[in-house]
Amino acid sequence: MQHSEEDIYHRIALNFASGIGHKYAAALIEGFGSAKNVLSAPLKQLLKIEGMGEIRAKAIKDPAVFDLAEKEMAFITAKNIKVLTQENPDYPQRFLECTDAPQLLFYKGIANLNKSKNIAVIGTRKNTEYGQRLTNDLIDGLSKIQDVNIISGLAHGIDTIAHKAALKNNLETIGVLGHGLNTIYPSANRNLAKEMLEQGGLLTEFPAESKVEKGNFPARNRIVAGISDVTIIVESDIKGGALITGYIANSYNREVAAFPGRAYDAKSSGTNMMIRKNLASLITCTDDLLDLMGWQKQKKQAAVQTQLMLHLSDEEKSIIDILQTKDTTHADELQKRTSLGSSQLASCLLTLEMQGLIKTLPGKHYRMN
């Protein structure tokens, strides 16, 4: 669904209302029928809405939101920026599976955000030569498969290496920003960003005049995780921002992979910890990633899995039947619906995973492989 320019204007104006937030804005738009109706509603009517409160209601009625929206619309038009609402087919469809997906995204570029393979490659800003080599080799290998986006955060270090490697290998690459599209941070990546507009794009949820603030980057990280099938952490220490993205990806039940490093190397302490705690799958090369994601020899795998299905026990078949009805299922639900004991269920799940039929996810969740 493509929204009219007037509707986009009012959605942006509502977006500028302090304290509203994406979820609440969505609820208001649904309840009133449009953003315009929300903004034109009398203050008394707004105050009757559950959870609104006087501060939020007055923020919606603040005339300043219209001034800000007009400036934003002028910038969008001048710079040929696409405003993507959740109803727009160009909106990253993977993100719609996440409860905190923003109502509006601002995008400039040529890449399709909904390719069949969206791969986030992230890591420390202070990479080693080892991290640089891993990133270049990984993306060089990914250039051999089709329909790929390389996604990262345009930061120094691994992010920059990933974007440059994608461009070199003729892969489209998306930079997710923690600020508006009127600037590039870090400034050293301005030329890189220009190249990416011709072979990828730049994506953000922040309006043009948004300042570069530290608090914006965790929000940026959730977009990186939310629009990707898998998040790959190349190098990171224990407190690295890349780990935050990995944790978010886990919370979305998305795949996370990490390259191991030397035991005494601080730059790999975070990735090693993620692997040790089963928060990330260990990979050492592109083929490991392709195997993890089922992107290699898919027809052969399907034939093998069909043969395995014929030899499952009744208990294992019942588990498969349940997992096929949902994207992910918790172990407690499986136990309840199968009436299996905890030890018997654990044994069946292990057997199914060993056969490559199911995948274990963080938090005792399971899905079909």
Rounded to an integer, the average pLDDT of 341-362 is: 86
* Residues of the chain above pLDDT 90, percent: 67
Mean pLDDT of 129-134: 96
Higher pLDDT, 346 or 2: 346
The pLDDT-based confidence of 314 (bands split at 50, 70, 90) is confident
pLDDT above 70: percentage of residues in the chain: 96
What are the percentages of helix, strand and coil residues in the chain, rounded to 5?
Answer: 50, 15, 35
Would you state the pLDDT for residue 310?
61
Distances (CA, A) of 109 to 97, 114, 155: 23, 13, 18
Bond into 362 cis (ω within 30):
no
Least confident of 98-107, 199-208, 289-298: 289-298
pLDDT tens digits, 30-80: 899 999 999 999 999 999 888 888 999 999 999 999 999 999 999 999 999
Indicate whether 282 pLDDT > 70.
yes
Whether the predicted pLDDT of 305 surpasses 60:
no
Q: Please give the model's pTM, rounded to 2 decimal places.
A: 0.79
pLDDT band at 299 (very low <50, low <70, confident <90, very high): very low
pLDDT over 60 (residue 306): no
Angle subtended at Cα 63 by Cα 57 and Cα 69, rounded to the nearest 5 degrees: 105
Higher-scoring residue by pLDDT: 318, 191: 191
Q: Mean pLDDT throughout 279-301? A: 83
- CATH class for the region spanning 298-368: mainly alpha
- Residue ranges of domains in the chain: 5-79, 108-293, 298-368
CA distance 283 to 135: 12
Q: Residue 351 gets which letter from DSSP?
A: H
| Poorest-pLDDT segment among 22-31, 93-102, 243-252, 354-363 | 354-363
**According to the model, what pLDDT value does residue 357 have?**
85
Question: Which range among 98-102, 309-313, 363-367 has the greatest average pLDDT?
Answer: 98-102
pLDDT, position 362: 76
| Residues 296-312, mean pLDDT to the nearest whole number | 57
- Between the CA of residue 69 and those of 13, 36, 66, 272, 310, what are the distances in Å? 5, 12, 5, 46, 60
5-79 to CATH, choices 1.10.3470, 1.10.10, 1.20.1070, 1.10.150: 1.10.150
- Region 327-335: mean pLDDT is 88
With H, G, I as helix, E, B as strand and everything else as coil, classify residue 187: helix
Q: What is the mean pLDDT of the chain?
A: 91
The reply to whether domains 5-79 and 108-293 share a CATH topology is: no
Quote the pLDDT of residue 308. Answer: 57
pLDDT tens track for 210-229: 888 888 999 999 999 999 99
List the beta bridge partners of residue 120.
151, 231
Q: Read off the pLDDT band of 155 (50, 70, 90).
A: very high
Query: Strands 365-368, 329-330: parallel, antiparallel or unpaired by DSSP?
Result: antiparallel
**Topology given in CATH for the domain delimited by 108-293:** Rossmann fold (3.40.50)
What pLDDT does 1 receive? 56
| CB contact at 8 A, 186 and 156 | yes
**Alpha carbons 207 and 68: distance in angstroms, whole number:** 9
